[in-house]
Amino acid sequence: MPPQALTVTWGAPESLVRVRLSPDSEATTLELEHSVPFAFAGSGAGGLYVGPGWDVSVLSLALHLRGEAVADPATWENTLEVQRYSERTIVAWAEVIAAGGTATDEEVAGGVEAARVQFTPDLADAPAAGARE
């Protein structure tokens, strides 16, 4: 049987990425977990620093599996289409983190802003994703 799980560190020994594949008769489920100690992330808002990036990576994998190769990933990730996708995932991450109560409103807002700078640089003039009043 081929391997079905992989665990690697990501940037620091305490930052772990686990990928699990669970095949069944019709499809294979991919589970990706990126975990860091709470003290390392600062709060649940730490998910905004990496989550939207993983979303784009999984989108790229889905395109690849459909036979739609991305010739230059860096160029593709910086297209307005992908940045708009990232904007939507930032909003979703912010909503989930806020609902989970693992971060203050200020921490969520700071995470949203950091995510927007990293993942949606050309949409900087747009209203903030996940902005809460």
Alpha-carbon distance of 52 to 68, in angstroms, equals: 21
pLDDT in tens, 5-29: 999 999 889 999 999 999 888 888 9
Dump pLDDT digits (tens) for 72-103. Answer: 999 999 999 999 999 999 999 999 999 999 99
pTM: 0.84
Please state, in angstroms and rounded to a whole number, the distance separating the CA atoms of residues 41 and 47. Answer: 8
C-beta pairs of 122-129 under 8 Å, 24+ apart in sequence: 122/78, 122/80, 122/83, 123/80, 123/83, 123/84, 123/87, 126/87, 129/87, 129/88, 129/90, 129/91, 129/94
Task: Enter the tokens of residue 16.
Answer: 């772990």
- For residue 39, pLDDT over 70 is answered with yes
% of the chain residues with pLDDT over 90: 76
Tokens 């599996």 -> residue? 65
Nearest to 37 by CA among 16, 18, 51: 16
For residue 47, what are the CA distances in angstroms to 32, 64, 96? 13, 25, 10
pLDDT class for 133, splitting at 50, 70, 90? very low
